[in-house]
Structure 1
Amino acid sequence: MELEVDGRAVRLSNPDKVYFPEPGFTKRDVAEYYLAVAPGVLRGLRNRPTTLQRFPDGVEGEFFYQKRAPKGLPEWLPTARIAFPSGRTADEVCPTEPAAVLWAANLGCLTFHPWPVRRDDTEHPDELRIDLDPQPGTDFHDAVRAAHALREVLDAYGLRGWPKTSGGRGLHVYVPVEPRWTFTDCRHAVIALGRELEHRMPGEVTTQWWKEERGEAIFVDYNQMARDRTIASPYSLRPRPQATVSTPLRWEELDEVSPADFTLRTVPERFAELGDVHADMEQHAFSLEAALELYAHQGAGDLPYPPDHPKMPGEPDRVQPSRAKKH
């Protein structure tokens, strides 16, 4: 079948193929979902190098991350060259119109993972993405409490955040920033804000990289701002049995909702009623100067990078504490 979006026809092969067996959602359902929320999902993807998380046989089958633009890329879909921590490069797709989202959905892409940069400047992020990740013994409501406290921290340092569900148990808070800082700067800013949040909520929030040191707390995953780390875009479907959606929220909603409220079936109705509740985010771009001054003032230095990153300047030993003690 063909779907038409903004005057462009997109072919959908095998539209009755089941992608979410439990509720019975098909490829056609996925495509129609993305058509219904097209302005919102495109806001999060527009001109951003984007990794496609593809599930050719649905959520119960194998999946892979498509970082390089696939063969057969439509001539109207641009790409941008990005550099990985290893120094290798790749040309990634950069959606600029809703048809690009449907084209990816036809390839079995359920979740979009955009970089926090635009294709005209791939070295300077224009978003901080703060991931509040519940550890064992905590849940979404603990993440909500942390998010409210984070909102106060952001305000204290001249920043403003826009929250969304992760589609799982956690929350993401986005902060639009001026694109004049490096990935390292942005990561340091998130570390500083995370440490301040940890100071305000001792025992409830942690920035400890090693799981054995986190305890029952909300982990501020600062490494989501490391180069080549991405999180699910706003309005992305998540590969969970009920087809949950990473859904933008208003701050006043946080205490009233659950991640299970937002699915392929429910979010289009919400979008039709409210529109994209983060539509105004693109009108803002904040300075990181105060957050970076906080990082320097804290004097605690850097934290470990992900294991696939090369050793970085000022990084502490990347050794699990329990193993270090044995030596």
Structure 2
Amino acid sequence: MAEDQRLARLHILVRIAPQWTYREVRLAAETLAREVENRAPGLATARWWKEERGESVFVDFNQNAKDRTVASAYSVRPLPDARVSTPLTWDEVQTARPDQFTVPTVPRRFADMGDPHAGIDDAAGTLDGLLRLAAELGPAEKPPRSGDGSGRRQSVMPLIEVARTRTKPEAEAALDEWKSRHADLVPALHPADVLVDGMRGSSSLWYRVRVNLQHVPEGERPPQEDLIADYDPWAGKEWPARPTS
């Protein structure tokens, strides 16, 4: 189990035999996420875009991507209480809390019960069933493409952007300022409508603040305004020229 300051993330690790391609593994993971959503609608979702998830738990199949990393077992997380990414037994999942697993407590836990991951490499699974299910379900629905020629996917949600900041406290301050300007709208917002996201910059994280106005009546939605803060994570960076043929 790993955690950032906002939420707990449960990584489910499954060993498979090394006989499928990257595309097949990714398709199988996406199919698993879709099937979980189908079996638990409203509780779980496979929707990649955060503003479309609502309060549902996101089954993140995109961890199966070429540029992704995950917190390895027993790695110390960058939090004030030095929490540790810790393997759990299935019986512990419903009651365990991330703050139970820290640098002082995990060595004692390991000495008492051993490693719940022991033996994982001895039980390699197969993707045959998931790949058959993928063929039955057909391609997943994708968001429409933007019409500006960029090729980017266009969200169908009524989003407005509030700020781009260097740090999370700055992002939260910008959000508070926006809420003070639009205090009449705040009661209509659901917790999942407020999006403060860490974004990958050229060498570090930056933060983007957005608000989903889906629960605000259409005629009362404010237009996109100038950003309260407009941090540019790429300012001053020099990029190598693309080679010409």
Q: Shorter-chain-normalised TM-score: which range?
A: 0.5 to 0.7
Q: Which runs of 5+ in 2 are unaligned?
A: 144-150, 160-245
The one-character-per-residue Cα deviations of 1:200-253 (angstroms, maximum 9, x if unpaired) are 111111111111111001001111101121110011111111111110011011
The one-character-per-residue Cα deviations of 1:140-179 (angstroms, maximum 9, x if unpaired) are xxxxxxxxxxxxxxxxxxxxxxxxx123412111110011
- Aligned match of 1:281: 120
3-state SS, counterpart of residue 192 of structure 1: helix
1:321 aligned onto 2:119: no
Measured after TM superposition, the shift of residue 319 of structure 1 is: 2.8
Is the 8 Å Cα contact of residues 52 and 157 (structure 2) preserved in structure 1? Answer: no
- Aligned match of 2:3: 167
What amino acid does structure 1 have at the position aligned with 2:3?
Answer: G
1:209-220 alignment runs, 5 A limit:
209-220=48-59
1:208 aligned onto 2:47: yes
What amino acid does structure 2 have at the position aligned with 1:205?
Answer: A
Say if 1:255 and 1:290 are closer, same or farther in 2 by CA, change over 3 A: same
Say if 1:226 and 1:323 are closer, same or farther in 2 by CA, change over 3 A: farther
- Aligned match of 1:179: 18
Normalising by the residue count of structure 1, what TM-score does the alignment of the two structures yield? Answer: 0.43
For the residues of structure 2 that align with 1:317 and 1:292, how far apart are their CA atoms?
A: 28
What amino acid does structure 2 have at the position aligned with 1:175?
Answer: V
1:243 aligned onto 2:82: yes
1:261 aligned onto 2:100: yes
- Aligned match of 1:230: 69
The sequence identity of aligned pairs, in percent, is: 46
3-state SS, counterpart of residue 293 of structure 1: helix
Say if 1:268 and 1:243 are closer, same or farther in 2 by CA, change over 3 A: same
Q: Which runs of 5+ in 1 are unaligned?
A: 1-164, 305-315
For the residues of structure 2 that align with 1:270 and 1:238, how far apart are their CA atoms?
A: 17
For the residues of structure 2 that align with 1:218 and 1:296, how far apart are their CA atoms?
A: 25
**Aligned residue pairs, count:** 151
Measured after TM superposition, the shift of residue 181 of structure 1 is: 1.3
Say if 1:303 and 1:270 are closer, same or farther in 2 by CA, change over 3 A: farther
1:1-327 alignment runs, 5 A limit:
165-168=1-4, 169-301=8-140, 318-322=153-157
Normalising by the residue count of structure 2, what TM-score does the alignment of the two structures yield? Answer: 0.57
Is the 8 Å Cα contact of residues 232 and 246 (structure 1) preserved in structure 2? Answer: yes
RMSD (CA atoms): 2.4
